[in-house]
Amino acid sequence: MQEAAPVLAAPDVTDEAPVAAPDDPPALAWSDGAGASRGLKALPLSGVGQAYAALLGQLRAMAAAEILPRERATIAELAREPVAHLHAELARRYAGKPQPAGEREREAAEQAIALWQALWVQYSTCLKPLLEGDSELQGVKAKLLQRALYVGKQLVIVHGLARRIAPSALWQELHAYYRLAEMLDCTTVGVSDALMPEADGLSCYSMYSHALLIALADPYALSMRQIELVDRWLSQWARKLFPYAQQRESEGALIIVDLEGEHGAVLANAAPASPSASTRFGYPAKLATSVRGRLKRLANGSSPADLQLGDDVSADAASALLAHLDLHWLQAPRSVQRTKSRAIELAAGGTPAAYFRVAGRSFARQDPLGRDNENPTKYLQTVGGITDFDRHREEAERNWPWEKWYGAAEWREATVKHPGATHYEWFLDQLVVVREDGRVRLGYVSRLAAEGEGELALSVRIWAGDPRGYAVRMVNQDRTEDPPSPALLLSGTPEEPSTLVMSPRGFNAGRIMRVDEVGGGRRFRLLRIVQRGADFERVVFEAVEDD
């Protein structure tokens, strides 16, 4: 008679409110691969909260139980797929969300981390018998260590998606697994992995390089979609970077990692003068062929699908991401002069907030006044929503206050940190107003990470040109006009023409916009969009003659 599948005990919870697993693990429901297979098939994966509590509970129960090493490894192998599935569901709640994260987002990220960590413990528990020569583990040592490195790579991804800096303990454990693979002489042994069916040349070293390169790509400057693409592309490219124990002659940048260190790899111009025995050297020449060759072919008209980048990514998106990877994996870093940290004020809130902080008054729906109409740039610089009384100033000050951050600002970038709670929610590609030494400029969030207890770190890419606030009406085909909306003019530079920063979804090539002036108005045509952010669009325009 066939044994019934064990039922996993779990509280009655809903997907909308997943609960943390209890501190005390439940009774062990399985102790061998056959029992685990039946139990995992019965796992209620459609209910994320219930499945999470049940699976995490069993993994913790396993950690406290005496299980034969080979059976533990088998159970861990079976559990990887449901852990990956639940992580994908949890990622919908936390991945790429604004920072500081809300309670729901924090809980989902912590649950994903807890699942992968609990699975990692199963592999860690197998290490002692593996080192002691357990005969049943010797034949699968390469696969066992590759699976452990895979879990470590997934934890790097979780932290990137959650905008959290990966802790030193994560890197120390990843380095330890790879060092063990070196000790057991199985770094290059080829393995297969059902969760990475398209991986090319999969091994312990390629899995370790995969994790290093994801972190080196700076996922805190990438969208959720871009992180997923980098992970997918590295399944083909990670084998091109091998961590050598001995230095080799090379030109250009190299990738260095310390197996006893507390962080991932770094990109350097040269090797350290006196490297330790734990230092490993990666030479990205083959990786450069994959990245730069594809960039060149995309520029010549090849499609991403033809270049094995996927048929679900556009050529522009692929080119932008490859250029980012080129910068972080291949280009020798420039030396940065350290500057003393100082206060830099930021404000956010989209184009209404930017208008308020640039023009010095809240945006009014009344027709704006303007006098100078010699050319579109000069004209728009003098136009604004001007009234004698700003009735919404106090509200605007409350909604969009200047907030002090601390760091350094250069001509085109500011890198700042905030030590505690912030008034705003911050997200990638968000419009930001920067004020330093009394000068107000515009830019957007290019990097976002949570560091330590409540501390946020931002990088803001600053646009050239001084901003001016003004109001614009969009003209429809039937000659009716939309209500006035706020926008910002960035004066032109030798590198680029004047541009308008507008509210999102306002751009349409060829669309006419009008700015009122005494006795009439001037009209402008939107030409092309040069940047589409999360809460803005930046466009190029030209003046048109009135009918």
Q: How far apart are CA 418 and CA 435, in angstroms?
A: 15
How far lies 137's CA from each of 127, 145, 189, 266, in Å? 9, 11, 15, 34
The rounded Cα 273 to chain-centroid distance in angstroms is 34
Non-local CB neighbours of 334 within 8 Å, separated by 6+ positions:
none
Q: How far apart are CA 153 and CA 2, in angstroms?
A: 38
How far lies 151's CA from each of 81, 156, 160, 374, in Å? 11, 9, 14, 63
pLDDT of residue 332: 80
Instruction: Output phi, psi for 308, to 5 deg.
Output: 60, 35
Among 137, 124, 152, 134, which Cα is nearest to 59's? 124
pLDDT of residue 374: 42
| pTM of the shown model | 0.89
Stretches where the chain sits below pLDDT 70 are: 1-25, 335-338, 365-389, 516-521, 546-547
Cis peptide before 100 (omega within 30 of 0): yes
Among 152, 151, 128, 130, which Cα is nearest to 139's? 130
pLDDT digits (tens, 9 = 90+) for 268-292: 988 888 899 999 999 999 999 999 9
Q: How far apart are CA 334 and CA 45, in angstroms?
A: 48
Q: How far apart are CA 101 and CA 91, in angstroms?
A: 13
The region, left, alpha or beta by phi > 0 then psi within -120 to 50, assigned to residue 465 is left
Place of tokens 């090379």: 250
